[in-house]
Amino acid sequence: MLAAQIAKKYARALFLSTRQRGLVDQAYDQFTGLKAVLRKDPALMRFLASPRVEEEDKLAMLRSAFDARLEPLFVEFLGVLVKKRRAGYLIEIIEEFGRLVEFEKGIVRVTAISARPLAKNEEFALVARLARKTGKRIELEKRVDLDVIGGVIVIINDQIVDGSVRHGLDLLEEQLQRLKVH
């Protein structure tokens, strides 16, 4: 939970700052690339988040690695994360920043979890329904989880809509346990 709160705070600051300077698209591209690098080579994340590495060493490494590759504002932002000991949340911050950019562009990412792959007509109907409800373009990520049994769980922003059979069975069990049998 703390990671999500920190990510939202710093991502919003980055978003507002880049929007004010007309750098949103550039920030989106550069930070998306940085996230890919961090995922591919987690050693950089460990270095930035390590309490054993001096702040000055981290800042020097950031400048040498990114001064020529990133917009100066973005390097400054990374420096702030190091100084505030928030560099360990960088991937979450970049992901939240991406959501803010996409939302402003009218895109909402939605995760649909079902027991089996959704048929094309089911996927189309779900996307159309969510687009009508949100007024946004829906980018759907599909996942299969056999524990769902049937139906679908939809995760949109921070909300979970559980339309799974498993959830229905759990609710039914809860109601049955509350009944008094004579």
- Round to whole Å and give the CA distance between 154 and 157: 10
- Mapping DSSP to helix (H, G, I), strand (E, B) and coil, where does residue 166 land? helix
The pLDDT value recorded for residue 7 is: 93
pLDDT at 101: 95
Amino acid at 112: A
pLDDT tens readout for residues 25-54: 999 999 999 999 889 988 988 998 899 999
pTM of the model: 0.75
Please give the sequence-ordered ranges of beta strands (E in DSSP) within the chain, or none if there are none: 107-114, 137-144, 151-156, 159-164
Cβ count near 123 (within 10 Å) = 15
Q: Which residue has the tokens 């979890």?
A: 113
Sheet strand arrangement including 159-164: 137-144, 107-114, 151-156, 159-164
Summarised one tens digit per residue, pLDDT across range 66-99 is 888 889 999 999 999 999 999 999 999 999 999 9
Q: Are 84 and 48 in contact (CB under 8 A)?
A: no
- DSSP secondary structure string for all residues of 9-38: HHHHHHHHHHHHHT-HHHHHHHHHHHHHHH
- What are the structural domains of the chain? 2-102 (1.10.520.20), 106-178 (no CATH)
Which pLDDT score is estimated for 168? 65
Give the pLDDT confidence score for residue 154 in this predicted structure: 85
- The label of the residue with tokens 């049955």 reads 176
Residues pairing with 161 in the sheet:
154
Angle at 96 between CA 90 and CA 98, to 5 degrees: 105
